[in-house]
């Protein structure tokens, strides 16, 4: 992608990551990463364990603070307020407000074990957004229908399979009406036969125009759904482009080696 194309993409982006670095002690988890994601697109991020993929998602959602660079989400600088030439860290309530723009689905489902599927979904809109219970219950039931689990509304997490729990976790994130969905290897903790049901929900989301950033090892899904694929290694963005390039005919030897290893 040329400099002109990159600038044009950043101008219309819902997420702009500019020269971001993140350290954990001596470890440089992210090294000068820049990326722009346009509204309504699916950005897939692939790479080996420890390459910085999940750290990047956590920085976007402000679960980790960046050490260098800047991230903008929906046009707003996250984590900081600029006053003249100085940056001031946002307060916890201000960070919580910014975080409402994004929904995040983790490897582990993180459902509240003492709540039913329906209760898990309505908890955020009820306690955080202070919305009327009758209204959000109707919306939650529509979300349960959307993920194919309307009949499980009164089931507790312990009564659900891993795939069902992950679909509830997706519905819970969607209940907050985010503009951006972040998926951190959402199928990696699932038995192989349950992966498809979660990917089908994600395909439906992508088809509906939801902006998504997906960290995944499911290369077939990325090839089918992604508008753009990034390969990361050792905290750096090694290769980026459309899936037919990065996944089918990658230019970098490291990308080729990784894809060959995953497809074995």
pLDDT for res 9: 58
Q: How confident is the model at residue 86 (pLDDT cuts 50, 70, 90)?
A: confident
Residue 228 has pLDDT above 90, yes or no: yes
Looking at the structure of the chain, the number of domains it has is 2
Question: Tokens 């290694």 identify what position?
Answer: 233
The CATH number assigned to the domain holding 95 equals 3.40.50.300
* Closest C-alpha among 185, 120, 129 to residue 147: 120
> Other C-beta atoms within 10 Å of 220: how many?
11
Residue 6 has pLDDT above 70, yes or no: no
- How does pLDDT run across 244-261, given as a tens digit for each residue? 999 999 999 999 999 999
Residue 107 lies in a domain: no
With pLDDT > 70 as the criterion, what percentage of the chain qualifies? 96
Q: Are residues 186 and 161 in the same domain?
A: no
Q: Are residues 83 and 205 in the same domain?
A: yes
Q: Residues 76-103: what's their mean pLDDT?
A: 92
Contact between 203 and 224 under an 8 Å Cβ cutoff? The reply is yes
Q: How confident is the model at residue 37 (pLDDT cuts 50, 70, 90)?
A: very high
CB-based burial, 198-219: b 16+ in 10 Å, e otherwise: bbebbeebbeeebbbbbbbbbb
Q: Are residues 53 and 28 in the same domain?
A: yes
The chain-wide mean pLDDT, for the chain, equals 93
Q: Are residues 95 and 117 in the same domain?
A: no
pLDDT for res 8: 47
Contact between 109 and 162 under an 8 Å Cβ cutoff? The reply is yes
Q: How confident is the model at residue 10 (pLDDT cuts 50, 70, 90)?
A: low
Q: Are residues 205 and 153 in the same domain?
A: no
Range of the domain at 118: 112-177
Q: Are residues 140 and 240 in the same domain?
A: no
Residue 2 has pLDDT above 90, yes or no: no
Q: Residues 116-128: what's their mean pLDDT?
A: 96
């Amino acid at each position: 992608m040329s400099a002109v194309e990159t600038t044009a993409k950043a101008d219309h982006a819902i997420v702009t990551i500019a020269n971001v670095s993140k350290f954990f002690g001596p470890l440089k988890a992210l090294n000068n990463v820049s990326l722009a994601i346009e509204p309504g697109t699916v950005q897939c991020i692939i790479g080996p364990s420890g390459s910085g993929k999940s750290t990047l998602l956590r920085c976007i959602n402000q679960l980790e603070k960046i050490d260098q660079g800047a991230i903008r989400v929906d046009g707003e600088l996250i984590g900081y307020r600029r006053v003249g030439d100085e940056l001031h860290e946002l307060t916890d309530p201000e960070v919580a407000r910014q975080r409402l723009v994004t929904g995040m689905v983790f490897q582990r489902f993180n459902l509240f074990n003492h709540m039913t599927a329906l209760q898990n979904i309505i908890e955020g809109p009820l306690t955080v957004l202070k919305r009327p219970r009758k209204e959000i219950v109707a919306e939650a039931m529509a979300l349960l229908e959307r993920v194919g689990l309307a009949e499980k509304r009164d089931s507790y997490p312990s009564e659900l399979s891993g795939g069902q729990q992950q679909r509830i976790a997706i519905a819970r994130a969607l209940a907050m009406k985010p503009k951006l969905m972040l998926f951190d290897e959402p199928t990696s903790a699932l038995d192989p036969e349950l992966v498809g049901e979660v990917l089908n929900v994600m395909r439906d989301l992508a088809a509906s125009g939801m902006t998504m950033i997906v960290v995944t090892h499911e290369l077939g899904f990325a090839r089918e759904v992604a508008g753009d694929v990034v390969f990361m290694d050792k905290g750096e963005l090694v290769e980026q482009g459309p899936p037919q390039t990065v996944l089918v005919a990658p230019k970098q030897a490291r990308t080729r080696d990784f894809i060959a290893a995953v497809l074995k």
